[in-house]
Amino acid sequence: MLAALIMAGGKGERFWPKSRTHRPKQLLSIFSDCSMIEETVKRLSPLIEPEHIFISTAAHLESSIQKVLGGIPKHNYIIEPVGRNTAPCIGLSALIIRKRLGNVPMVVLPSDHVISDRDLFQRTVAIGARLASEQGKVVTIGIQPGSAHTGYGYIQQGQSLGALDDIEFFRLAAFKEKPDLKTAQQFLEAGTYLWNSGMFLWTCDTILTEITTHLPGLDQVLRKIAPALDSPEQQRVIERFFPEAESISIDYGILEKTAKGVLVRGTFDWDDVGNWLALEHYIEKDQDHNTVKAPFQAINTRNCLIVSDRQLIATIGVKDLIVVSTDDAVLICHRNDSESIKNLLAAMKNDDSFKHYL
């Protein structure tokens, strides 16, 4: 048996104005006819049954996610009262999954990635699950880099530990923060660095033991919650004690410290679609190098990204712009400033007249 935890609490601010507080990136249908979280669940079938898929999210997103994921049992939703980064999220979820299913291997997945090769993805997950269950490993899936990308963290692979079903795995040597372009090119040329996908596998016992060893404060929080699991008091107890957990990522809290780390090489197509420019990988450009998902008419317009559901976007004499239109807001920015959308939203949060657009 293999369980899955899908982390679905993110804000997806860099996809504003389509993404909002109550409709983050994972609920958007940008890259297919289905929302990104639906695609995440679909690519697990038939490897993992819906009854063994758990969703960690925030209370204000629960009903929206349930509407698009009808096959996931309601009691498989793990509601965090506050965001505390990935280590507390994973610790609480592992505790609940173990209570429900026993010491099973679990794969941890973000809800907003684009992965096209389902078969190769599932074979990679299956090998990671074997390493987790048979050898007690803490497994990270690293992605074979296709470019010197500066928007991803990197993982350095150590000694080769072999291959199963043509899937290679290595000792986990080191994590590297998002690099500058020169460093990213050096990583690519070295051939021993993989993109950090944010996808992990371990058994419930293994990750909870690692938390006890490396994050004793979080361990104490989980011990306070454990007696209430599967009781009518579960959510009340979570709401009382979960906020006491330190906000820390699983990378910093566990993976950089563990002696059990294994890096599995993922060779399937993968994209964490960090901002609007990711659309350029999935939509064919027109003769003027514009990426268009909208009713669009233009004169002398080049190298722009245009998104609109209904409103006509018409442009004259512009280049290198991102234009995104919704029913109540329009974003216009230079393509080189796509990462600054978060700064724009931060400024809007400080002005009451704009808060309803967030």
pLDDT digits (tens, 9 = 90+) for 109-150: 999 999 989 999 999 999 999 999 999 999 999 999 989 988
The strands making up 291-293's β-sheet, listed across from edge to edge, are 291-293, 305-308, 321-325, 330-334
Is pLDDT at 11 greater than 80 in this prediction? no
Last residue of a domain, one of 211, 238, 271: 271
Q: Comparing C-alpha atoms, which of 245, 238, 256 is closest to residue 220? A: 245
Weakest mean pLDDT among 105-109, 194-198, 274-278, 291-295? 274-278
pLDDT of residue 51: 97
Residues 132 and 241 both lie in one domain: yes
Q: Are 311 and 295 in contact (CB under 8 A)?
A: yes
Average pLDDT, the chain: 95
Q: Are residues 308 and 238 in the same domain?
A: no
Kindly state whether residues 231 and 323 are assigned to the same domain. no
Q: Give the list of residues 6+ apart from residue 5 with CB closer than 8 angstroms, or none.
A: 54, 55, 56, 78, 90, 93, 94, 97, 106, 107, 108, 109
Give every CB contact of residue 240 below 8 A, 6+ residues apart in sequence: none
CATH number at residue 247: 3.90.550.10
- Residue 69 near residue 18, CB atoms below 8 Å: no
- Co-location of 81 and 209 in the same domain: yes
- State how many domains the chain has: 2
Do 263 and 342 sit in the same domain of this protein?
no
Q: In this structure, are 71 and 104 located in the same domain?
A: yes
CA distance 95 to 234: 12
Q: Which two tokens stand for residue 76?
A: 């498989």
- 317 lies in which domain range? 276-357
Judgement on whether residues 211 and 298 belong to the same structural domain of the protein? no
Tell me: do 303 and 224 sit in the same domain. Answer: no
pTM of the predicted model, to two decimals?
Answer: 0.94
115 and 129 in a single domain? The answer is: yes
pLDDT in tens, 65-109: 999 998 999 999 999 999 999 999 999 999 999 999 999 999 999
Domain boundary among 232, 251, 271: 271
180 and 212 in one domain? yes
What is d(CA 335, CA 323) in angstroms, rounded to the nearest whole number? 9
Final residue of a structural domain among 219, 249, 271:
271
What number of CA atoms fall less than 13 Å from residue 152's CA on the CB side? 25
pLDDT above 90 (res 315) = yes
- Is the pLDDT assigned to residue 13 strictly greater than 90? no
Residue 337 has pLDDT above 90, yes or no: yes
Burial category of 323 from C-beta neighbours within 10 Å (exposed 0-12, middle 13-18, buried 19 and up): buried
Give the chain's end-to-end CA distance (angstroms, integer): 41
Closest listed residue to residue 30, CA positions, set 113, 150, 143? 113
- 193 vs 152: CA distance, rounded Å: 11
**Cα separation, 241 vs 247, whole angstroms:** 13
In the chain, the largest separation of any two C-alpha atoms, in whole Å, equals 66
Tens-place pLDDT, residues 165-222: 999 999 999 989 889 999 999 999 999 999 999 999 999 999 999 999 999 999 999 9
> 111 and 13: one domain?
yes
DSSP character string of 169-180: EEEEEEEEPPPP
Tell me: do 259 and 229 sit in the same domain: yes
Rg (C-alpha) for the chain, rounded Å, is: 21
- Other CB atoms within 10 A of residue 343 CB: 11
